[in-house]
Each structure stands twice: as C-alpha cells, then as structure tokens.
Amino acid sequence: MKTLVLGGTKEAKTIAQALHSQGRTVVYSLAGLTSEKTPSTGYERRTGGFGGVDGLVSYLQVQAIDCVVDATHPYAVRISQHALQAARRCQVPLFMYQRAGWEPEPGDHWVVAHDWEDLVYKLQAYRRPLFTLGLQPLEKAESRRADQVWFVRTLPSPQQHPAEGPQLRRIMDQGPFGLSTERALFNQIQPDVLVSKNSGGGAVHNKIRVARERGIPVIILARPRLPETSTSYTAIHILLDALMG
C-alpha cells in the first residue's frame, strides 16, 4: 500500500518510519512552513501545498495513494479539513493523529483566549508579552497598544518583517528549546506574560515550565476545532495497529 503522511510533527516522522519499516510505501509531506530537517532515509519526501482540496484530490489519484495519515500540527486545521474532504471524494481511508494537549499543573496561571481579538483583550493588563505563536503577532501588529513591547519568537528568516521595530522585537531561533535556553531568554527580555498555543508534546513545553517557575501568567490560544472522524487517535501505537490491521 502507498500511504501519504501529512507531517510537520515529531509524531508524524515516527509514524512514517514505522510504516516504512513494515514494508509500506510512504510519502511524507510537509507544507514548507517548517524548519523540520529531512528524514533520515527510506521513504519519499515532498514539500509544499497541494492547491486546496481539488489539488489534493488530484494528487491522491495521480499518485495512487491508498491511505492518508493526517499527523499535522494541532493548529493546522485547514490541511486537516482538506485531507478529510479529499479522502472522502477519493474513497481513501483517512487516519488522524491528534496529539493530546497540555493540562495546567499546580502553580500554573493559565488564561484561555478563544481567538485573536480575545487574546488582545486579555493582553491589556500586560506590557511585555512573549509570543510563541509564529508570525501571527507580526501580521497583527496594529493590535499592539502603544505602551507595550511585544517579543515575537519565530523561525529564522533572512528577511526582516515590515512590522519589526523597537516596540515589536523579533527573536529568531529554532527549537526545540532546552530548559536552560528558555530560562536565559526569560532573563534577557523579562516578559510579564507568555502567549502560547496548546501544542502538546514535550518538545516545546519548557517555556510553560519557566513561566510557572517565575509566576508569570500564560495566555493560551485555544485549539481550533478539528474535523470529526471515527479514525482519530491520540496514541501512536493504537493508530499503527489500526493502520496495519
């Protein structure tokens, strides 16, 4: 069988490698908006979008894909929606891996924001937020209050964003970030609030831990609602059993 794995997460690579080791032909697909390094060896990799639902349908048909695994980031809701629609149109089975989110621990002070407008409203009490949402804060720069300094951590890029300036400071770095690295960043910029997605997993959780250590509140951008399917799994081994069964 030829399986398309929609990736961009550590778990997606684990799934792709496991399927390949079981003799499946695997195509591992990345949107092109990630720093993820090339998988070691053994299976095909493609980068870039498909051109919407119609483009994905065409790809599944031309490449004779027998099965789709959606293991994209929990906030990549558009590709998940497209994958479900395309799989249904092509009558190809779709399996979805949904990484469990973080839960607040003792000492955490979390505030949930349901969308960007809600997030900006809940930022009014703070002056030095550290954003770990990607480029979105730079693209929404007009939301910044004049007396606030926004620190925005993004992937490295050779180009400066037009919104960057003394009050909107971009920190370009590539994770995963160790605990000592996160502590050093907090020491350097002295944020009074952390703004984060509830990405789940262990690779990016250290920032939450440092906020807890310092008694800094965390504004969590709520997860988008993903498409509902009967073949959604939160454990990789159960998903693999279902795929190989």
Q: What is the pLDDT of residues 186-243, one digit of tens each?
A: 999 999 999 999 988 776 789 999 999 999 999 999 988 877 787 889 899 999 999 8
**Domain definitions of the chain by residue range:** 2-100+225-244, 110-221
Fold of 110-221: Rossmann fold (3.40.50)
Residue 23, Cβ neighbours under 10 Å: how many?
8
Has residue 34 got a pLDDT over 70?
A: no
- The SS3 assignment for 194 reads strand
> Are the C-beta atoms of 190 and 200 separated by less than 8 Å?
no
Q: What is the reported pLDDT for 199?
A: 86
Q: Which residues of 30-61 are buried (b: 16+ CB within 10 A; e: fewer)?
A: bbeeeebeebeeebeeeeeebeebeebbebbe
Mean pLDDT of all residues in 38-50: 78
- Residue 221 tokens read as 């951008």
Domains 2-100+225-244 and 110-221 share a fold: yes
* Residue 228 CA from chain centroid, whole number: 19
At 166, which amino acid appears?
P
Instruction: Return the CATH number of 2-100+225-244, one of 3.40.50.720, 3.50.70.10, 3.30.70.20, 3.30.70.1710.
Output: 3.40.50.720
Q: What is the reported pLDDT for 42?
A: 80
**Packing angle, helices 206-214 and 179-189, rounded to 10:** 50
Q: Which pLDDT band, with edges at 50, 70 and 90, does 171 fall under?
A: very high
- From residue 81, alpha-carbon distances to 4, 67, 106, 133 in Å are 15, 16, 35, 21
